[in-house]
Amino acid sequence: MALSCSSLCSHLSLIRLFGFRTNIINKGLYSPYKSCQSRHYSSSKVRRGVGRYVASKLQKANSKYEAFLKRRFPRFYQLYHTFVEGFKLLYQDAKTVYTIKSKMASAGVELKDLPYREMEMLRQFRRNMIKAVPLVLISIPPFANYLVFVLMYFFPRQLLIPHFWTPGQQVEFQRVYHSLRAQHHQPVLQGLEKSSQQVKDRQLQGRLKDLCAKIQNGVNPKATEILAVRGLFSGPPLGMKRMSTYQMRHISPLLFLTPRLPGFFMGWRLKSHALELLQLDRALCRLGPHQLSEAELRQACYVRGLNSGTLDVNQCREWLSQWLDVSASLKESEVSLLLHSLVLLSANYPKGPRRH
In whole angstroms, what is the distance from residue 152 CA to residue 163 CA? 12
Q: How far, in Å, are 13, 62, 141, 169 from residue 146 at the CA level?
A: 55, 15, 10, 20
Phi and psi at 354, nearest 5°, equal -85, 140
Q: Are 287 and 344 in contact (CB under 8 A)?
A: no
Residues 114-163: tens digit of each pLDDT: 999 999 999 999 999 888 787 777 777 776 767 777 777 788 888 888 88
Residues 62-103: tens digit of each pLDDT: 677 667 667 777 777 777 788 788 888 989 999 999 999 999
User: Angle, nearest 10°, between helix axes 313-327 and 263-287?
Assistant: 110
Q: How far, in Å, are 23, 24, 34 from residue 11 at the CA level?
A: 14, 13, 13
Q: Which residues does 105 contact at the CB level (< 8 Å), separation at least 6?
A: none
Cβ neighbours of 315 (radius 10 Å): 15
Residue that wins the pLDDT comparison between 294 and 85: 294
State the pLDDT confidence band at 45, using cuts at 50, 70 and 90: low
Average pLDDT over residues 254-261: 93
Residues 321-333: tens digit of each pLDDT: 999 999 999 999 9
pLDDT at 148: 72
pLDDT at 63: 74
**For the residues of 225-250, what is the DSSP string, one character each?**
HHHTTGGGGSSTTTSTTT--HHHHHH
